[in-house]
Amino acid sequence: MDIGRAKRGATERSNTEKWLWGGISCLALIAIPFVLEKGFSQYDLYLVIKILVFALFAMSFNLVLGYGGMMSFGHAAFFGVGAYCFSLLLVRASCPLVLAFLAAPFAAAIVGLIIGYFSVKIKGVFYFATITLSFAQLVYILAFKWRSFTFGDDGIQGIPVPAFISTDVSYIPYYFFALVITLICIYVLWKISKSPFGMMLMSLRENPERAAFIGIKVERYRLIAFVISAFFSGVAGVLYALLETSIAPEILYWSMSGDVILMGLLGGMTLFLGPALGAAIMVFLNSFITSYTEYWGLFLGTTLILIVLFFPKGLGGLAVEKYRTWVKGKKK
Amino acid sequence: MAVLEIKGLRKKFGGVMAVAGVDLEVQEGTIHSIIGPNGAGKSTLFNLISGYYPSDGGQVFFKGKDITGLSPQEIVKMGMGRSFQVTEIFPKLTVFANIHATILYHRGEGLRLFKNAGRLFREETEEILSMVGLIDKAAETSGTLAAGDRKRLEFGIVLATKPDLLLLDEPTCGMSPAETSETIDLIQEIAAEKALSVLFTEHKMDMVFCIASSITVLNFGTIIAAGKPEDIRANEKVQQIYFGEDQCSLK
């Protein structure tokens, strides 16, 4: 029996379907800003870009949690370092945009290498979460207290955004800029998730002991995943800084690390696109609910308790499960 | 020639000497069994040999090289594969992916970030799945398999690392009599075909005497007998451990 061939046959049949869906998604992504600008407001377009930024952040994070099984509670550090490095290079050193944009993710990756170096040796979810949290809070304190360099709690205001992606008049140019960067990053993350390295990560998540006894150098693989994740979180941080044109130490605070975990839980960590869905839900709900009540936290908490209790695979996981049973039912 | 040679191996847990100075030789191409009652130190011995625990003394030689204190990864790379008493697989991955991941790593593809894993080493994976009789269950999630199938899958994972010496910790634990005899045949067949040496622990005595060419009996962390199956069967000390000296004392 050749399962490989049977499987390949099935993928060939669904290829036309794939192209169709791909085409529709592309058109939708291109149409979104124009529809929103005509029918809604610039604020809605701003929210969509924010979703892109956080979708990238959440998916980078998911390489560590969903694929690698490492409960990092310190990913705000990489997002924040990306944003801070980029902004400081522009404001303090008048560095060219391209250079700053390239340097920031590498800075985040280096911080990821340092934090990861000490963290990946730690066994146990709780201790891993604690050590990453501690490191991230250290970075936060640094940004908060080192006023002469980081502007402390004043944050960095008036980040010089070049004219071609300026958001002063319309968010449309920046939407396309952020979209292209995000899609490229997501494509790379997707390739990694399908690669032998991605499989190694999943086997580490499933059973580190077994993995060690087929020869996998557990710590090295974890560290590499951690650094890659930090790099793309840094890219998300840069996109955030450009979107907001100002940043504050709050983006390094532990609650930001918490938010990205919640996005994964909401959307579903077992799906590649799950965290992106979680990011979309979080950003929209946050803006929607905070316009009615200040008890956003209360609402978020309740939703999460319900999800963890009843839909542990997240809303994305739930949708996929329902879809699969529906397809099966149709076949019968 | 001995593929595995152990000299004076010791391990202490708190006040208990789990392995108290064990000497052992496994000859190349043979099937060697370690037996002994629960708590005799069999699994601890396996964990010391395979690098899972550091030993408190003694030496382990594999293919003539001193491997004492090496990491499990280094030992696997040298060609020693092991299974566990409580089966260790990747439960949420499919049966296929369990073997596939092992092969990918073992062929040095582990660090490839942008290659499509799905296109690599499919045939090799299917070959091992057929060998251990799981090809029809390739697409199933491995964690849902029955205990016997899980043991077989772990055996397949170990084979995928292309070992020269197999360390099998109770390879038929949890299997029905029919499955047990199938597995015995499988181990014998593969060992003969690939010229492997096998060291295994087992509780089922009939299985041990059926396939082992030499047997070592362990009790309280020390060797109390070693030799050919017929010698062990006749050994008085062994009979004492397994059947008790005074079988009528309860009357």
Contact list in B for residue A121 (CB cut-off 8 A) is: none
Share of chain B above pLDDT 90, in %: 39
Summary count for chain B: helices (H), strands (E) = 9, 10
- The answer to whether A121 contacts chain B (CB < 8 Å) is no
Is A2 in Cβ contact with B113 (below 8 Å)? Answer: no
Phi, psi of A75 (to 5 degrees): -70, -15
Encode burial over A286-295: b for 16+ CB neighbours within 10 A, e otherwise. beebeeeeee
Q: Which of A194, A214, A218 to mutate to test the interface with B (most CBs of B within 10 A)?
A: A214
B141 in helix, strand or coil? strand
Q: Which of B80, B107, B114 to mutate to test the interface with A (most CBs of A within 10 A)?
A: B114
* A327 min Cα distance to partner chain B (Å): 18
Q: Chain B residue with minimal CA distance to A203?
A: B90
* B151 min Cα distance to partner chain A (Å): 13
In this predicted structure, what is the pLDDT of residue B243? 64
Q: Model pTM?
A: 0.88
Contact list in B for residue A207 (CB cut-off 8 A) is: 88-91
A139-191, pLDDT tens digit by residue?
A: 888 888 887 778 878 788 888 888 788 777 788 888 999 999 999 999 999 99
Whole-angstrom CA distances from B144 to A42, B47, B89, B130 are 51, 27, 11, 19
Is B138 in Cβ contact with A195 (below 8 Å)? Answer: no
B171 in helix, strand or coil? coil
Determine contact, residues A200/B101, Cβ cutoff 8 Å: yes
Determine contact, residues A276/A58, Cβ cutoff 8 Å: yes
Average pLDDT over residues B242-251: 49
Domains of chain B (ranges plus CATH)? 2-243 (3.40.50.300)
CB atoms within 10 A of CB A301: 12
Whole-angstrom CA distances from A29 to A34, A52, A116, A135, B155 are 10, 11, 35, 37, 49
Contact list in A for residue B97 (CB cut-off 8 A) is: 199, 202
In this predicted structure, what is the pLDDT of residue A13? 56
* A190 min Cα distance to partner chain B (Å): 9
Q: Are strands B2-13 and B16-27 parallel, antiparallel or unpaired?
A: antiparallel
Contact list in A for residue B92 (CB cut-off 8 A) is: 202, 206
- Ordered by start, the domain boundaries in chain A are 63-252, 265-332
B59-105, pLDDT tens digit by residue?
A: 999 998 999 989 999 999 999 999 998 889 999 999 999 999 999 99
What are the residue ranges in chain A where pLDDT is below 50?
A: 1-4, 6
Q: Chain B residue with minimal CA distance to A205?
A: B90
Closest CA to B96 of B139, B147, B158: B139
Closest CA to B104 of A126, A141, A200: A200
Is A202 in Cβ contact with B105 (below 8 Å)? Answer: no
Is the model's pLDDT at B250 over the cut of 50? no
Phi, psi of A297 (to 5 degrees): -60, -40
Is A192 in Cβ contact with B105 (below 8 Å)? Answer: no
Mean residue pLDDT of chain B comes to: 87
B16 in helix, strand or coil? strand
Binning pLDDT at 50, 70 and 90, where does residue B247 land?
very low
Contact list in B for residue A213 (CB cut-off 8 A) is: 50, 52, 72, 76, 81-82, 88
Determine contact, residues A304/A266, Cβ cutoff 8 Å: yes
In this predicted structure, what is the pLDDT of residue B75? 94
Contact list in B for residue A222 (CB cut-off 8 A) is: none
Whole-angstrom CA distances from A48 to A241, A267, A282, A293 are 15, 17, 12, 22
